[in-house]
Chains A and B, each alone.
Chain A
Amino acid sequence: MNTSMMLASAEIRRGRGRFASVVSALALIVFLVLVLGALADGLFFGATGAVRSTTANAYAFSSDAEGSLVRSRLDISDVAKFAQVPGVASAGPVGVLLTGGEGPEGELDLAVFGISMGAAGTPNTLVSGRIPEPGEVGVALADQQLDQFGVRIGTTVSVGGNSAEIVGIVSDTSYQLQPTIWTSIDTWRAMRDAVRPELSGEATQINAVALTTSADLGDIAAAVDGTNVLTAEATGLAIPGVEQQNATLNSIIYTTLAVSALVVALFFALLVLEKRELFASLKALGTPTSRLGWAVIIQAVVSSVLGVVIGSIVAQLFGLVIPASVPTLFRPETLITIGVFTVIAGFAGALFSLRRIARIDPATAIGGVL
């Protein structure tokens, strides 16, 4: 191990140029993967916050809705039916309206959620202020993201002439990349009727029912005709585009990581090829194959770690200059995962060289025998 370290470190120190090339290739890959990862996280979190950051762990939809909140149509009377199903701790109505609104500084794109405050489906990520009382009218919670448009506690947001005063700020509750406000079902319905007059006859229609439950979801759905029930997580994935985006970006990320293993494998395979004679003579001098293998593995791991460090610094800097309109989210979890995967990929890449090293015949070191 000592001699492996000596070989590995001296070669890196005295051959910085060539290692710089593999480190920069890896840094570039890590940078790309991190930006893609930030985009994937940004899209996922921005699309699904409204169903992740609430007290509900399941949602009930009309069975024709395929788990889509906006397509689903239930009746307010269904809430009581779900509440009576054994194992359901709480049930609350959910109304959704994607619309434009008026904030303190002008026009806003919004997703308005009508809920029963305190029941299942109430946001659980309060940052400041308070959750409105059940039945309190003309008040709302606003997502932190609306801060940039001047929406704060005490200001007013209005939709179709119906205004609501903001009494609390919540975080991570975006829906389909729109910032949200959360208000009572009645206020929500008034807003809906104002912007969608064609729906104004449907005074008892809601979109879905939020549930806090430990019961089997199939049993719950069976208890109320014409409904199906999904976990909150599945509800997030059923939001249009989320699952496809996730799958696409993840496959790009995995492919890119595989490419980094390939880069390391090729680089070290070439390096080993170039050093065949040297390795033969080191073996002739009595170096066990394992020590030469360790030297290559140490170099691959060091190169990958350097690539991860440089790539992630560049990605963080890049994150600072990405326009706010591009939904990106740099999460430490993603950074750690990608970093660990890259180092493992580097390690795996180096393993490809081991067989070649093992096959080098020490007898070729001495003049003449080939």
Chain B
Amino acid sequence: MSEQDATTADMGPDPLIDADQRPTALLQVRDVTKVYGTGHTAVTALQTATMSVEQGEFVALVGPSGSGKTTLISIIGGLLAPTTGSVHIGDIDVTALSRKELTRFRAERVGFVFQSANLVPFLTARENLLYVAGLIGSSKSGARARADQLLEELGLADRAKNLPEQLSGGERQRVAIGRALMNDPDLVLVDEPTAALDTALGRQVVQLLGREVKDRGKTGIMVTHDLRMVEYTDRVFQILDGHLTHVESSTGAGH
């Protein structure tokens, strides 16, 4: 089991061992297994994965293609139900929520940044942010002020009225980050944010993301292929063939 691997290292608090002793951890994933399909076509994408992440932490999730990274963050974000195991965010048991409650949970508690920005193409940058505020019924004036502030922080103040097609790839990813932070979520989940960007721009976007997560006291999980991006995160988790392990504290900003 991966627990043994992790305990051999003496590198500060171990998230796997300590998961149960740390009731304060914002995110607690316990023994999550995901099996796609049934019978002889069944694929075990995730095998008894356990992890916990503190508030204010920005962690990376790395692993080869098909190892189960997307599956894990989809389960954490309430997009996918695990086959067994549980996910707690704060005092919410995500795996116990109904479909309707999950929809509301995602709107209120989770900010997603997808691989391709996936902005609404016929809404401007600012409207893309206001849209998600509308989902939780925020006051209009409050939402406008917050959207403008976020766009300002993300260096997009003069791009607020542009449609996604009029933005560059990096600008779109930054709008997506703004959208993910708009409803003041507990958790920010990011899948391959740099896939569509060149290295310099990718760095810039990840750096910005890390800063926003830390400054705002969010919990962030970023899936990435690109090990160079790991330096902006606090800790690194690795998945190999469905087995999750905590690798090490990153050398970057976190510690």
> Across the two chains, which residue of chain A brings its CB closest to B109?
A286
Contact with B along A1-36 (1 / 0, CB 8 A): 011001100110111000000000000000000000
> Do residues A6 and B122 form an inter-chain contact, with CB atoms below 8 A?
no
> Do residues B103 and A6 form an inter-chain contact, with CB atoms below 8 A?
no
Chain B residues near A286 (CB-CB < 8 A): 103-108, 110, 132, 135-136
Q: Which A residues lie at the B interface, using CB under 8 A?
A: 2-3, 6-7, 10-11, 13-15, 277-278, 281-288, 291, 362-363, 365-369
Closest chain A CB from B46 CB (angstroms): 12
Check A284/B131 contact, CB under 8 A, given A278-B118, A365-B79. no
Closest chain A CB from B109 CB (angstroms): 9
Complex Cα gap A238–B142 (Å) = 70
Closest chain A CB from B147 CB (angstroms): 13
Check A287/B123 contact, CB under 8 A, given A277-B118, A363-B74, A367-B195. no
Contact of B115 among A2, A13, A366 (CB under 8 A): A366
Chain B residues near A3 (CB-CB < 8 A): 131, 134-135
> Across the two chains, which residue of chain B brings its CB closest to A275?
B121
Chain A residues near B223 (CB-CB < 8 A): 367
> Across the two chains, which residue of chain A brings its CB closest to B165?
A14
> Across the two chains, which residue of chain A brings its CB closest to B79?
A363
> Do residues A285 and B74 form an inter-chain contact, with CB atoms below 8 A?
no
Chain B residues near A366 (CB-CB < 8 A): 70, 73-74, 77, 79, 112, 114-115, 191
* Residue B167 interfacial (CB < 8 Å): no
The secondary structure that dominates the A interface is helix
Closest chain B CB from A325 CB (angstroms): 50
> Across the two chains, which residue of chain B brings its CB closest to A1?
B134
Complex Cα gap A284–B105 (Å) = 10
* 15 further interface pairs, Cβ-Cβ under 8 Å (given A286-B107, A368-B191): A6-B130, A7-B123, A11-B122, A277-B118, A278-B120, A284-B79, A284-B112, A286-B106, A362-B106, A365-B79, A366-B79, A367-B116, A367-B192, A368-B70, A369-B80
17 chain-A/chain-B pairs, Cβ below 8 angstroms: A3-B134, A6-B127, A7-B131, A10-B120, A284-B79, A284-B106, A284-B112, A285-B179, A286-B135, A287-B103, A362-B79, A363-B74, A366-B70, A366-B77, A366-B191, A367-B191, A369-B74
* Residue B100 interfacial (CB < 8 Å): yes
Complex Cα gap A368–B114 (Å) = 10
Check A365/B127 contact, CB under 8 A, given A278-B120, A287-B135. no
Chain A residues near B135 (CB-CB < 8 A): 3, 285-287, 291
Complex Cα gap A366–B176 (Å) = 13
